[in-house]
Chain A
Amino acid sequence: MWSVATEGQMIKTYLPMDYLDKLEAEAIHILREVAGQFERPALLFSGGKDSIALTRLAEKAFRPGKFPFPLVHIDTGHNFQEIIEFRDELATSLGEKLIVRKVEDTILTRGLHEPGGKYPSRNPLQTYTLLDVIEEFEFDACIGGARRDEEKARAKERIFSVRDDFGQWDPKRQRPELWNIYNGRIQKGENVRVFPISNWTELDVWNYIQRENIRLPDIYFAHERQCVVLPSGQLLGLSEHLNLDDTDEIVSRRVRFRTVGDSTCTAAVESDAASIDDIIQDLLLAKVSERGATRLDDNLSETGMEDRKRNGYF
């Protein structure tokens, strides 16, 4: 009965939780649901800020126990070196199992074509490696750090997103997902992609990183870097994987990465933000979205993400 409480008690209980507490509680609930409902889950770990935040949430969900899932990294071979080092250090300090599978190996075993062009992106090929690793370990649930605010196709996806035998997303087959009840029942061969921070925005993630004092790879903070100026005006960090010619303009700029994917398809943004506080200030003033500022692959077509998801992409 609501009426049993005195006025004083009501006020105390109804003080709203801080909004980050609410987002955190939702994410922890989802992570524990995965642990409770699935036999062989995995946490897809990219080394980016979102998946690093996920590991902190997993600590909150499962310590003092171990994570009920390994960290899985799909290494495109085009990752930033700093990210790879950070990944290994983090896995060691967490004391959790890390599984790494390389896109390079998938290219060889499946006889795939190495992408060409000036900025060869192995990003689309990751899907094959991901599907292979899911099959190899028979993962029934893969947790990822995707957020609905990133992109309009992601904005449509459920938190428990069922994929068929081939990892494909079919928007027409999305299932009901009511309140905080998540349905993990699947057919053999199917798997579920789970997105605990679906309802977080880029700014929420940074606010959380600040509150929790989460350590990040240095490339998120302003530093001098040799960059190639793209026709769009975006800056791409110079790397051995690019096939540049004499026409390319190389400049040295003070930049940071707003999102971290392949070095060949993630652009840097000019910034002086050297601390988390600075970055939050930067974001409050930013006029361009995270993916718009940094992703070369989404700009290929209006349905870039939807098409890739339909093919099994994360």
Chain B
Amino acid sequence: MDILRFITCGSVDDGKSTLIGRLLYDSDSVSLDVLAMLEKRRATTGGDVDLALLTDGLKAEREQGITIDVAHKYFTTPRRKFIITDAPGHVQYTRNMVTGASNADLAIVLVDARQGVVEQTRRHTLLASLLGIRHFVLAVNKLDLAGYDETVFQQIVADYQLIAEQLKLDHVVAIPLSALHGDNVVRRSKHIAWYGGPSLLEHLESVPVPAEANPYEPRFQVQYVIRPQTEELPDYRG
């Protein structure tokens, strides 16, 4: 089994936290006590269970309904262990997104189907690529609000293609989905029959994990020298 670390990024309100919540929820990775906590919240606020609360762990985040700092979540499928970094979308918290992106193997860039590619889409894609991420998923979210319309999806893919070409991104996979309703997140959606590709989770399970480091140009990092200076090891340095 190997580990895939990925980050969710994109503009504020594109549904990053909801997507992670949905991924955890539909892959049975949320425990009963945590579900009970969500249910309790729903009872006081009304409406649907708010899946974003699974990752928005700070009081200020829940009060304001936004993500301020990166959160880390973990889940495992029979294929892989996943380390998820949920990044904030607001411009003023971009520095926190950078911290999260630095250790990711793959970036899921979310786009709201109604808004299309926006400034933060470009900024986050640029930063993720600058930090060394090679695998991108363009997740066109909230497609339910755009009538699951293929032309909406194709237009966004075409717009994003320009960014990908500019940044020379070789591995971009576009997936139409609705995080709120779970379309194409874990299971393929019957609402999006025109799309023949994998669901997001299927893709995450099969994408190759990039190599740890360049093994042909090694760098030797000296962090600390171990010098026990005991009788048996009078002159050991390690």
* Given A19-B3, A62-B226, A13-B57 contact (CB < 8 Å): no
CB-nearest residue of chain B relative to A171? B58
Q: Across the interface, do B37 and A156 meet the contact criterion of CB distance under 8 Å?
A: no
Q: Across the interface, do B238 and A64 meet the contact criterion of CB distance under 8 Å?
A: yes
Q: Across the interface, do B69 and A29 meet the contact criterion of CB distance under 8 Å?
A: no
Q: Across the interface, do A64 and B226 meet the contact criterion of CB distance under 8 Å?
A: yes
Instruction: Give 20 CB contacts A-B under 8 Å.
Output: A2-B214, A4-B216, A64-B226, A64-B230, A65-B228, A149-B72, A149-B73, A152-B71, A155-B55, A156-B58, A171-B60, A171-B68, A178-B102, A179-B102, A199-B72, A199-B74, A201-B74, A204-B81, A288-B31, A292-B31
Please tell me the number of chain A residues within 8 Å of chain B, measured between CB atoms: 54
Q: Across the interface, do B99 and A176 meet the contact criterion of CB distance under 8 Å?
A: yes
Distance A180 CA – B74 CA, assembled complex (angstroms): 19
- CB neighbours (8 Å) of A151 from chain B are 57
Interface, chain A (partner B; CB < 8 A): 1-2, 4-5, 13-14, 16-19, 22-23, 29, 32-33, 35-36, 62-66, 68, 148-149, 151-156, 158, 171-172, 174, 176-180, 198-199, 201, 203-204, 286-289, 292-293, 302-303, 306
Mostly, the B contact residues are loop
Distance A17 CA – B223 CA, assembled complex (angstroms): 22
- CB neighbours (8 Å) of A63 from chain B are 226
Q: Across the interface, do A306 and B98 meet the contact criterion of CB distance under 8 Å?
A: no
Q: Across the interface, do A153 and B57 meet the contact criterion of CB distance under 8 Å?
A: yes
Q: Across the interface, do A148 and B216 meet the contact criterion of CB distance under 8 Å?
A: no
Q: Across the interface, do A174 and B98 meet the contact criterion of CB distance under 8 Å?
A: no
CB-nearest residue of chain B relative to A17? B212
- CB neighbours (8 Å) of B217 from chain A are 1
CB-nearest residue of chain A relative to B209? A16
CB-nearest residue of chain B relative to A29? B223
Q: Across the interface, do B31 and A35 meet the contact criterion of CB distance under 8 Å?
A: no
Q: Across the interface, do A288 and B33 meet the contact criterion of CB distance under 8 Å?
A: yes
Q: Across the interface, do B211 and A198 meet the contact criterion of CB distance under 8 Å?
A: no
B195 at the interface (CB under 8 A from A): no
**Supplied contacts A156-B57, A288-B32, 13 more A-B pairs, CB within 8 Å:** A1-B216, A5-B216, A16-B209, A32-B223, A64-B238, A155-B57, A156-B70, A176-B95, A177-B99, A198-B72, A199-B72, A286-B31, A302-B62
